[in-house]
């Protein structure tokens, strides 16, 4: 069975708290957070506020055939966007390419509402746009 709890079927969706635990961003993170957080929002969204340590690949680039950044290859991927719509599509696309991928329901909005870290391009307090 996969670490995401399913071997077949559609993509599995996780909450922001579950995503934080899988990627090492939780206040009490597991000792081996194996998944990488992939932010697929567009550059202006990323610069306004993103999760520290997340990997960035815009949805438009992903759907145009771009390959995953090196940090996200050969690892389970947790995909996040602003609200969860694009990330659900991206997770489906990645799974079709053989990547173990889930997406975050509620996206960055839920992440920020849960009090999880968000930084801007300069490392200061970020906002979700």
Q: Just list the catalytic residues.
A: 81
* 41, 82 Cβ separation under 8 angstroms: yes
Burial tier of 17 (Cβ tally within 10 Å: 0-12, 13-18, 19+): middle
Q: Which two tokens stand for residue 45?
A: 């969204």
Helices marked H in the chain: 16-23, 43-48, 59-63, 85-96, 107-113
């Amino acid at each position: 069975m996969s670490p995401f709890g399913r071997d077949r079927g559609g993509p599995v969706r996780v909450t922001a708290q579950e995503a934080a635990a899988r990627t090492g961003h939780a206040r009490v993170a597991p000792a081996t957070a194996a998944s990488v957080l992939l932010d697929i929002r567009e550059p202006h969204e990323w610069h306004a506020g993103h999760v520290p340590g997340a990997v960035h690949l815009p949805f438009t680039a992903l759907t145009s055939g771009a390959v995953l950044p090196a940090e996200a290859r050969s690892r389970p991927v947790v995909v996040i966007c602003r609200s969860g719509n694009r990330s659900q599509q991206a997770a489906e696309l990645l799974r079709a390419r053989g990547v173990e991928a889930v997406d975050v329901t509620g996206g960055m909005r839920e992440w920020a509402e849960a009090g999880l870290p968000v930084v801007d391009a300069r490392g200061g307090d970020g906002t979700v746009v």
